[in-house]
Amino acid sequence: MINIDTLFINAIVLTMNEDFQLFKDGAVAVQEDHIVAVGDSADLQKDYQALTIIDCGGKVLMPGLVNAHTHVPMTLLRGLADDLRLDVWLMGYMMPVEREFVSPDFVRLGTSLACAEMIRSGITSFADMYYFEEDVAKATAAAGMRAICSQSVLKFPTPDAHSFEESLDYARDFIRRWKGHPLIVPSVAPHAPYTCTTEILKATTQLAVEFDVPLHTHLAETAIEVENMRNEHGMPVIPYVKKQGLFEAKVLAAHCVHIDKGEMRTMLHAGAGIAHNPTSNLKLASGVAPVKLMLETGLNVGIGTDGPASNNDLDMFEEIRLAALLAKGFSNDPTALPAKTILSMATRIGAKALHIGDLTGSLEPGKKADLILLDLSPVHNSPKFDRDPNGVYAQIIYASKANDVTDVMINGKFVMRDKLLLTLDEKSLLDGAQEYARKIDKFLFVREKSVLSKLIAIGGALEEESFEVQLKIKIANPEEVLASIENPHIEVIRKRHYHEYDTYFVFKDAEENRLRYREDDFINDLGEVDSVRYRLTLIGPSREHKVTSDSLLSRSRYFAPAGQSLRFYKEYFMPDSEFEIEKDRLRFLVKFQNTEFFINIDTILKPKLGTFLEIKSRTWGRQDAQQKSRKISQLLELLVQHPGEILAKDYLDMVD
Amino acid sequence: MINIDTLFINAIVLTMNEDFQLFKDGAVAVQEDHIVAVGDSADLQKDYQALTIIDCGGKVLMPGLVNAHTHVPMTLLRGLADDLRLDVWLMGYMMPVEREFVSPDFVRLGTSLACAEMIRSGITSFADMYYFEEDVAKATAAAGMRAICSQSVLKFPTPDAHSFEESLDYARDFIRRWKGHPLIVPSVAPHAPYTCTTEILKATTQLAVEFDVPLHTHLAETAIEVENMRNEHGMPVIPYVKKQGLFEAKVLAAHCVHIDKGEMRTMLHAGAGIAHNPTSNLKLASGVAPVKLMLETGLNVGIGTDGPASNNDLDMFEEIRLAALLAKGFSNDPTALPAKTILSMATRIGAKALHIGDLTGSLEPGKKADLILLDLSPVHNSPKFDRDPNGVYAQIIYASKANDVTDVMINGKFVMRDKLLLTLDEKSLLDGAQEYARKIDKFLFVREKSVLSKLIAIGGALEEESFEVQLKIKIANPEEVLASIENPHIEVIRKRHYHEYDTYFVFKDAEENRLRYREDDFINDLGEVDSVRYRLTLIGPSREHKVTSDSLLSRSRYFAPAGQSLRFYKEYFMPDSEFEIEKDRLRFLVKFQNTEFFINIDTILKPKLGTFLEIKSRTWGRQDAQQKSRKISQLLELLVQHPGEILAKDYLDMVD
């Protein structure tokens, strides 16, 4: 008899080893942190004398699940914003909130909450990527879980670094200190090719190679990423990162939704692992990864939940079920990725994808004791058939739920017994999480009250309080005005021809009630579009004063370059209504009586309002305004013989 | 103060009415079987005096979920066979097992087990379709659940009827007796256009119209169904059933995966409801229904689990989550079918699809009290944000689980309190289910031991113990033989030209060790394929006796017409190995010395074995065989001048 710590008996033992060995009345012997034997209950009870014998009562005993890709601290942002497009979700909500709230405290609390949820769903190992990753590591180790903890490096400032050099130094320190930890594998995460410079890709690869730790990244998640890569570098994502030498490291690549057979071979030769995240890929409409082909190519493909802000939970049972269903639906083949294959992706193959296949992922002597007990007897999973040897795998994939996991052991230590967590205090975690939610709600509530603060949140805006003298009349004969500009009293400094497309967002309750998205097409002498500019202008209410017959208008305006699409702004600002104005504008900058004026000849094409003459000048006070107003009247006399009614409105007021 | 039975207070009340009215600290007043008021807790506490006040402690109080399509007794077949193609799954496993086991007892037990599972996952109403539907109704009513119970009618014999007329009589009786029941809406279910004759479609429609009950059916589930319909009737499925008058009834159509905009309009005008079954459609690789377009068209689309044998559970939380994710992934639009829309499909709109929208689906005064309490506080659903008014719907769709449902009331009566079932004894249901599983395992175990019994299970086979005298030689010059047949001593009765493609399945352990799938192409005088025949032949081991220089072979053979594809048989029989033989065969039926013989001139094209002359005759005993054998030798002399070695093998033995 050999003395050991723990002997599990009377279980359906799924070893999930290469041969899918299964013991119907099986046992597992555990000594300290590792497995010493797996076999029939009767045999192991003869050979081993255990301090603790655990009768599993016919439950399934199997390796703990491997969550191949996630961002665990984002549990604290779960449900913050859903059903949005990736850019609106990321730039409108996640990034502004992360900039404001993410701290070592936030990260530790979010990680602990995530560990509670993951243990409850039978996960024993996960691959994380976030900021302040050392705090993720601390909280994970305290919860008793195994993880690849990857410190993010990006070309932008992040919550934990002003520059990528800072992140890189942080990563180096973190890796040096944590390398060799019994539960944590420290790692570095160049976030994605499109958020990293080639310098970052190279530096992070060197770091990973120097310390022989995994390199965790996002590759080919969306079709746009691949398209942009082709446009900018003439090749898709995988060849590009290969060219930067990325595959010299042990790569764990999340997503790989848009890669082809050749790219798969490249990754296979590099020994790279892939994390498939079906929920996230569907929810953000990124596409469906060609998992069947990846497996046929021989790649190690694990399954991941991705972050809980885009999932919205960390439930590997939901994830494996979806992975199985999706593979069938997308390949038009209901025999694709059968239950056994999916479960091996969530265990042995997943561990290999994370480059910890030697430690965990199957129940084999020598491997760490990372295992779970699963109850197949609940009403939603009955009855149980014995005919088909694959039946037990199908029961797990298609009908088991996270809540059926009763016990979890990691590295030889129980972290859950009979659904009771042993390393975490859920009540205090829930309270802490709710406290953050209250603060974030408040922050967003204030921000969302005003269009301006929403505008600032996505990249700032330049304020400008403008005063201008303006005169506008409708004209019947633009040619007459054009001819009149050729006048010895008027000096034309500059002439421009534009085609302008304006979309106005109208907000009922906001103080600044109109946001304009303008596309300015510059038309050259040949009548072609020479270049295009996009600008956002937030227009405050106009305060109007009559100055002689013209108007002095004052208005606060906030300008911002419009780096995102019109669609983005619509979905982000969610205006109560909107309207469009399209016009052809001939704009002259002229000097008249030693004062500069703009003369605009505007033909409003949509809606068809006709042609207008505008004369404008910036001003800074009432006296100056009165002088300029007089000059405008004189200028008008030179340009139009019988001016009609003077209009004191903006075009947008004519449309309203 | 108005006296009522029950007042729920202190809940987040989601009414799920047309305006998505929501009360953050809400209350619902219930009197007998219906809702009398919905509003703020403070207001309702002022107005109503309740016998029972239930403090919901901040949980969500919402309408019970509507499972829009299922086959509940199939809980007893859950996990019996998975990861198979639809035809193999259905014809190889489900139908043979149903033929053997489905009885009133089976149906009642399966329904009760299903009700336990459905109540636990917050379902209060469902639409069922199965056999012995009155027993489904009885068990459902006993469990206290609301259901549309639809009696299946098919053109084949079913477990409960030898003919469709029997099913139709059953349905009429059932509907007449149950019409007006407080929980059960009896209904008729012509199974699908391809399993019904036009006569059945018309008769069931008349029945549904006569009693004003819903008609439940499967429409356009697979692309093949649509293709076959186009080939046979020159139109897709919806116009075809419209032509049969089906839409005169209140139709509930499951699946509708492959319908276009025009067909949707037809269904809209007919007031038909649709049941979307995302898990089943993915698992069986049927495709993805165009739900977004259906909703835009104005159709009532509910969400269903389909039967638990193809899901493999009855969990509407999994189903609504998948419906939301899939709609986004398939439309490339992450804003498609937001959480609120999905939840209304699972409640108000689902009830309308089932034609019970006046009874249930939302919390509104006058509707039946079908409601659930849902706990949003578990660790997998924290924290909770207040900013976004859609947040609570997103929490339910993306992170809630069946296990978070704590209480269920149907028709004013609690069926679950604090996760305790009040109308069902789970223990006895589980035991009963396991007893059926044991019997089915045994039945299949015996069947699967033998290739013959598997063959019989899918449609029978005709046995034939054959004795034949056979002579076979390799020939170098077929032209010589052909010329020699023109001989005054030989009368050619018939001449045929075939091209034969044989696939042999080889089984290591089976007694009947070879199954042949033969495609016989009949070649006409112009060298074209005139017609094709498919046959399965199960070939027993040959018992060989030498009769003079020829062979007398005896062999048991079982013939069956091969109605399914070669692929079907491969996946169903799962042979240990297989090989192919392709040959060109000229076959003469001749009379020689008053005896009929077959003369075959076979050129084996795959593998390239050359050309053979076979002379064969059926026989019935040793003496007859000896006579025929002598005649064969004489015939051979007429046909070939220098015959080579006589071969006593079948072609398949030359390949092996």
What domains lie within chain B, and their CATH numbers? 1-64+361-417 (2.30.40.10), 65-358+422-438 (3.20.20.140), 462-654 (2.40.320.10)
List, as ranges, residues 534-563 from A with C-beta within 8 Å of B.
none
pLDDT grade, residue B459 (50/70/90)?
low
B426 contacts on A by Cβ (under 8 Å): 379
Question: How close, in Å, is residue B281 to chain A by CA atoms?
Answer: 7
Phi, then psi, of B3 in degrees rounded to 5: -80, 130
> Measured between CB atoms, which of A82, A85, A429 is closest to B394?
A82
Cβ distance A395 to B284 less than 8 Å, yes or no, reads no
CB B290 within 8 A of CB B263: no
**Average of pLDDT values for A261-288?**
97
Q: What is the pLDDT, as a whole number, of residue A424? A: 98
Instruction: Check whether B555 has a pLDDT greater than 80.
Output: no
Token pair listed for A456: 């600032």
Phi, then psi, of A593 in degrees rounded to 5: 50, 50
Cβ distance B283 to A322 less than 8 Å, yes or no, reads no
Alpha helices, DSSP H, located in B58-103: 86-87, 95-101
| Greatest Cα pair distance in chain B | 115
* Best residue in A398, A421, A567 for a mutation probing chain B (most B CBs within 10 Å): A398
Q: What is the pLDDT, as a whole number, of residue A466? A: 64
A328 contacts on B by Cβ (under 8 Å): 282-285
**Average of pLDDT values for B336-348?**
97
Q: What is the pLDDT, as a whole number, of residue B455? A: 79
Cβ distance B379 to A311 less than 8 Å, yes or no, reads no
Q: What is the pLDDT, as a whole number, of residue B438? A: 96
B76 — contact with chain A (CB < 8 Å)?
Answer: yes
Peptide bond into A403 cis (omega under 30): no
CB B241 within 8 A of CB B218: no
Q: Which range has the worst mean pLDDT, A206-210, B84-88, B314-318?
A: B84-88
Helix B391-398 / helix B316-331 crossing angle, nearest 10 deg: 110
pLDDT in tens, B199-224: 999 999 999 999 999 999 999 999 99
Alpha helices, DSSP H, located in A247-406: 261-269, 278-283, 291-297, 316-331, 339-345, 348-353, 391-399
Instruction: Check whether A512 has a pLDDT greater than 90.
Output: no
Token pair listed for B142: 């006993």
How far is residue A64's CA from residue B32's CA, in Å, rounded to a whole number?
A: 49
List, as ranges, residues 102-141 from A with C-beta within 8 Å of B.
113, 116-117, 120-121
**Average of pLDDT values for B385-413?**
95
Instruction: Check whether B135 has a pLDDT greater than 90.
Output: yes
Instruction: Check whether B549 has a pLDDT greater than 60.
Output: no
How many other β-carbons are positioned within 10 Å of the β-carbon of residue B296? 11
Cβ distance A388 to B121 less than 8 Å, yes or no, reads no
Size of interface A-B (CB pairs under 8 A): 231
B386 — contact with chain A (CB < 8 Å)?
Answer: yes
Nearest one of A587, A585, A581 to A599, comparing CA atoms: A587
In a 3-state reduction of DSSP, which class is residue B305? Answer: coil
Q: What is the dihedral of CA B513, B517, B523, B528, to 10 degrees?
A: -140
Cβ distance B318 to A315 less than 8 Å, yes or no, reads no
Cβ distance A82 to B390 less than 8 Å, yes or no, reads yes
Question: How close, in Å, is residue B314 to chain A by CA atoms?
Answer: 7
> Measured between CB atoms, which of B113, B279, B329 is closest to A288?
B329
Percent of chain B with pLDDT over 70: 95
How many other β-carbons are positioned within 10 Å of the β-carbon of residue B243? 13
DSSP state, residue A308: G
Q: What is the pLDDT, as a whole number, of residue B572? A: 86
Nearest CA in chain A to B434: A383
Q: What is the dihedral of CA A529, A533, A534, A538, to 10 degrees?
A: -120
How far is residue A414's CA from residue A421's CA, in Å, rounded to a whole number?
A: 9
Strands B34-40, B123-130: parallel, antiparallel or unpaired by DSSP? unpaired
Question: How close, in Å, is residue A161 to chain B by CA atoms?
Answer: 27
How far is residue B298's CA from residue B349's CA, in Å, rounded to a whole number?
A: 11
Nearest CA in chain B to A381: B313
Q: What is the pLDDT, as a whole number, of residue A533? A: 86
DSSP state, residue A161: B
Cβ distance B398 to A321 less than 8 Å, yes or no, reads no
Token pair listed for A11: 């279980």
Q: What is the pLDDT, as a whole number, of residue A419? A: 98
CB A412 within 8 A of CB A146: no
Query: CA gyration radius for chain B?
Result: 32
- Say which residue the tokens 């008249």 belong to: A592
List, as ranges, residues 337-356 from B with C-beta within 8 Å of A.
338-339
Residues in contact with A322: Cβ distance below 8 Å, sequence separation at least 6, in sequence order: A278, A279, A282, B322, B325
Strands B184-190, B146-153: parallel, antiparallel or unpaired by DSSP? parallel
Residues in contact with B365: Cβ distance below 8 Å, sequence separation at least 6, in sequence order: B35, B36, B37, B38
pLDDT grade, residue B9 (50/70/90)?
very high
DSSP B434-492: HHHHHHHHHHHHHHHH-HHHHHHHTT--EEEEEEEEEEEEEES-HHHHHHHHS-TTEEE
How far is residue B12's CA from residue B22's CA, in Å, rounded to a whole number?
A: 7
pLDDT in tens, A117-171: 999 999 999 999 999 999 999 999 999 999 999 999 999 889 999 899 999 999 9
Q: Which residues does residue A612 pair with via DSSP β-bridges, in sequence order?
A: A474, A602
Question: Which range is most confident: A385-389, A462-466, A472-476, B74-78?
Answer: B74-78
List, as ranges, residues 413-472 from A with C-beta within 8 Å of B.
426, 429-430, 433-434, 436-437, 440-441, 444-445, 448
In a 3-state reduction of DSSP, which class is residue A110? Answer: helix
- Say which residue the tokens 């404001």 belong to: A100
CA B56 and chain centroid, separation: 41
Peptide bond into A228 cis (omega under 30): no
